[in-house]
Amino acid sequence: MSLQLYSDYPLRRLNTFGFESYAQCFTRLETAGDVISLHRYVDEHRLPLLLIGGGSNLILGPKVPGVVAQVAIAGMELEALAGDAVRVTLGAGENWHGSIERLLEQGVYGLENLALIPGCAGAAPVQNIGAYGVEVKDRLEAVEVYDWQQRRFYWLDNAECRFAYRDSIFKHETDRYLITRVRFLLSRQPDCVLSYKPLRDAIEPGQEGNPRAIFDAVCRIRRAKLPDPTLLGNAGSFFKNPIVTAGQYQALRQRYPDMVAYPEGEEFKLAAGWLIDRQGWKGYRQEGVGVHEHQALVLVNYGEGNRQQIERLAERIQSDVLEQYGVQLEVEPRFYP
Ligand code: FAD
Ligand code: NAP
């Protein structure tokens, strides 16, 4: 089957910041055959390519050159393994939150802490999504990719994905891999992670081992704290939590005893939201964009904002935090182009 290509395609509804943006050319990939056709097309026309899922971790400029391809490969397969283990394979285009909910309904557990993260299954390994003490790498068995260099499909196992804190091989080799399917090792036996205090506090006594209760609590907390992108454009946390050495942390701790930080191996992870909030940025507005009034880590689009404005605001926050704490904040979403 040949690809359906659309020119000058509006992307406003395909990025959760809601920035006005047009793709020179847009297509949707639903099958492995579409992926191969796309490869031939971009090769033949020598076009740049951006892969997109739900657009919830992307900051788009007003014009996106080349092809934007939305990976819309569907499918959910369950395979019973020994004991209570279940192997779950999701097509890259499956909605992430909807998949967790469907699994929960079928008594398959392990992804509850990652509820309500927007976007598609295929993007989840890209930044090794994480929330409330669980990261995708903790439950992932393998990722099926189409390798643009080798021109073939194959599986990368968990170790080969080189997962780290909000990081993976896919963030570094952006032009090499198209993720087509993601495989998880889950269980019919609940394995509840309640290491985060706000989550623990939100669970009714006696429900600590109930995955449905965890799922509901995560959704409740997130709905109360985070702006809904359909109402207020955003891409979730705008900066990663910086990781610093134990020495740096001790020095900062002496100056700021109430600083929020957590051990991360031998190093320390500082809560970027605390650093930004303490500098007084919460609720700040500049041009059409700003810092969310309830969560300093989330930058928002008040309606007519654009990529340049968000870049300017982010740079101001970064220099302020660097000057005050000597810590460089790294942007989490990807800017394109
Ligand atoms: P997109 O934004 O479309 O793409 C993200 C990146 O992945 C891009 O580089 C894109 O090129 C690449 N990509 C997409 N699909 C593929 C594919 N099939 N193959 C190869 N590359 C691909 N993140 C967290 O980690 N934890 C959170 O708790 C969290 N909460 C959020 C809350 C809100 C309100 C919002 C708006 C965002 C949040 N995010 C969070 C960020 C974001 O939702 C995740 O990173 C999500 O996995 C992105 O999925 P997506 O389909 O929207 O990806
Ligand atoms: P929070 O609970 O207010 O905590 C602030 C920060 O402290 C978080 O960033 C978290 O780091 C860290 N933290 C809290 N308790 C911890 C513990 N017991 N052990 C280790 N680290 C701990 O955070 P929040 O902003 O409301 O977000 C809640 C969760 O959702 C977090 O996991 C966050 O990452 C996730 N989230 C992510 C995005 C995104 O776009 N990436 C957006 C919204 C929410 P971590 O961030 O490393 O977990």
Instruction: Provide the domain count of the chain.
Output: 3
- Give residue 326's domain range: 233-336
- pTM for the predicted model, two decimal places: 0.98
Is there a domain that residue 1 lies in?
Answer: no
Strands 140-147 and 22-29: unpaired
Residue that terminates a domain, selected from 15, 40, 71: 71
Q: In this structure, what CATH number is given to the domain that contains residue 302?
A: 3.90.78.10
Is there a domain that residue 274 lies in?
Answer: yes
Tokens matching residue 256: 């700021």
- Tell me, yes or no, whether 126 and 197 share the same domain: yes
Per-residue pLDDT at 1: 55
- Tell me, yes or no, whether 60 and 126 share the same domain: no
Give me ligand 1 centre to Cα 59, in Å: 11
User: What is the number of the ligand 2 atom nearest to the C-alpha of 132?
Assistant: 32
Ligand 2 neighbour 333 (Cβ under 6 A): no
- Tell me, yes or no, whether 194 and 248 share the same domain: no
- Tell me, yes or no, whether 111 and 88 share the same domain: yes
- List the chain residues with pLDDT less than 50: none
Identify which ligand lies nearest to the alpha carbon of 64. Answer: 1
pLDDT tens for 148-194 read 999 999 999 999 999 999 999 999 999 999 999 999 999 999 999 99
Ligand 1 neighbour 233 (Cβ under 6 A): no
Per-residue pLDDT at 2: 80
Identify which ligand lies nearest to the alpha carbon of 126. Answer: 1
Is there a domain that residue 23 lies in?
Answer: yes
Ligand 2 neighbour 335 (Cβ under 6 A): no
Is there a domain that residue 305 lies in?
Answer: yes
Q: In this structure, what CATH number is given to the domain that contains residue 163?
A: 3.30.465.10
- Tell me, yes or no, whether 88 and 203 share the same domain: yes
- Name the residue with the closest Cα to ligand 1, atom 17: 179
Is there a domain that residue 56 lies in?
Answer: yes
Ligand 2 neighbour 91 (Cβ under 6 A): no
Residue that terminates a domain, selected from 208, 225, 242: 225
Ligand 1 neighbour 168 (Cβ under 6 A): no
- Tell me, yes or no, whether 196 and 266 share the same domain: no
